[in-house]
Amino acid sequence: MLTKWLRKILPGKQPAAPSHKQVLPLAEHGITPDAISYAAEKVVSRLHQAGFEAYVVGGAVRDLLLGIEPKDYDVATNARPEQVRKVFRRSRIIGRRFQIVHVMVGPETIEVTTFRGGKRPARQNEHGRIMQDNSYGSMEQDAARRDFTCNALYYNPERQEITDFHHGVADIRAKRLVMIGDARSRYQEDPVRMLRAARLSGKLGFQVAPDTAAPIAECLHLLPKEPLARLFDEVMKLLFSGAAADCLKQMQALGMSGKTVHPLLACALERLPENQGRGIVSLALGSTDQRLRDDMGVSVGFVLAAVLWPQVRETWQRELANGRNSAHALSIAVGEMRAQMEKGWGVPHRFTASMREIWQLQPQFDHRRGARPFRLLAQPRFRAAYDFLLLRARAGEADQAVADWWTAFQEADEEQRKQMIQKAEQRPAAEGDAPAKKRRRRRKKKPAGEQAGAAQVAPQDGAAE
């Protein structure tokens, strides 16, 4: 009731999130300076030496409390962006809505933000989304402006203390995801927080607090109004979170329709339960999660190709049924998917190009005669397309014998490859693999002198007739 009354008399402002400041010593949290990266510690130390406050903040502190090695580190300080820029030679100021500084230390990039103020953001649109926000304030005000309590923790490596304003440590230990302040207004300020709620709860195994989950369904209409690049970036974070399937299930649990959020998520959500989790989408996401857990590289184009493949395959099969050959049918299917993606999906060209190449090479694996296997092996995108063939075979939609043949062909030497091709030529031809044509005998050309003589004789013969 008090919140509603305040909204009526102060329509432009929201009541500040209540603060319950706690300072936890090392004995209560167990994080030592050795646990954080050298780059993060150096940035904090240099800012302290320059006379500023500085803390490791956000997800890195949360992950350390959970025993997870952080992928990246953020630092919060009372220094303004231009002041941070002066302290670090290898740094640059970026951002429109809220300026931040990227500080490069060796191979690492540390994101440094200035404490945000508690005042109303400088500029909001008609839906309440923050368009510009460069108001600065205290650490307590900055904590109130962060999204979830688990992300509003400040670690000082010199004092080995965590400063907690919103019971974030208690929520982490209870595995609760709690929004700071009024969840509805926080989603209006930044609709992407709804996707973040699904990602964090799915990845960390947290239960979303009822007050945090309740407004999501009625605020979903705000997501399509977000800039495409920012929305696509958040979709990528979800799919490459290391727990993609769990994050997608959390979306469903929170009432988030994939069609409302982004077409890529709609495709993934629709196909996730396919073949009892043994479909190509589930296999691709599961394999990606495992590679990320093993700290191995992943290909964005490959994963997106798998997520969208069922839709491409349906069109491909339809065109095959209409009598088209395999390569032409697939070309039509790829073209239709490309036309859909160009209607505002926000997928960068480098990823769509990779996806198309992986798809269009699939029919070529059926051709194992003559010089075609060697030409396919020389393709720049062969390895990705071959891995995709293996994935299709695991999903039961490609012939395992064909996948095994290509595995052996890559490992064979030149003589063994020739023998494999000879054996393949003795078998019935695959679709589109026409039998070798008989060579036509070419007539031997007569010597130049004979040709000239024939040319001279011809008119005489004709004249005689």
Q: Helices marked H in 205-243 — which ranges? A: 210-213, 216-219, 228-239
- As a whole number of angstroms, the distance between CA 264 and CA 304 comes to 8
74 is catalytic: yes
Q: Which segments within 78-141 are labelled E, that is strand?
A: 91-94, 100-105, 108-114, 123-124, 130-132
The catalytically annotated residue of 133, 142, 147, 190 is: 147
Sign of the torsion angle spanned by Cα atoms 118, 210, 192, 73: positive
Rg over alpha carbons for the chain, rounded to the nearest Å, is 31
For residues 192 and 227, the answer to whether their CB atoms sit within 8 Å is: no
Q: The tokens 């296999």 sit on which residue?
A: 283
Residue 150: how many CB atoms within 10 A of its CB? Answer: 29
- 158 token code pair: 């010199």
- As a whole number of angstroms, the distance between CA 125 and CA 330 comes to 44
Burial class (CB in 10 A: 0-12, 13-18, 19+), 148: buried
Angle at 309 between CA 307 and CA 312, to 5 degrees: 135
The catalytically annotated residue of 72, 182, 366, 387 is: 72
147 is catalytic: yes
For residues 197 and 177, the answer to whether their CB atoms sit within 8 Å is: yes
Residue 202: how many CB atoms within 10 A of its CB? Answer: 23
- HSE of 69, CA atoms in CB hemisphere, 13 A: 6
The catalytically annotated residue of 74, 171, 190, 246 is: 74
| Residues known to be catalytic | 72, 74, 147
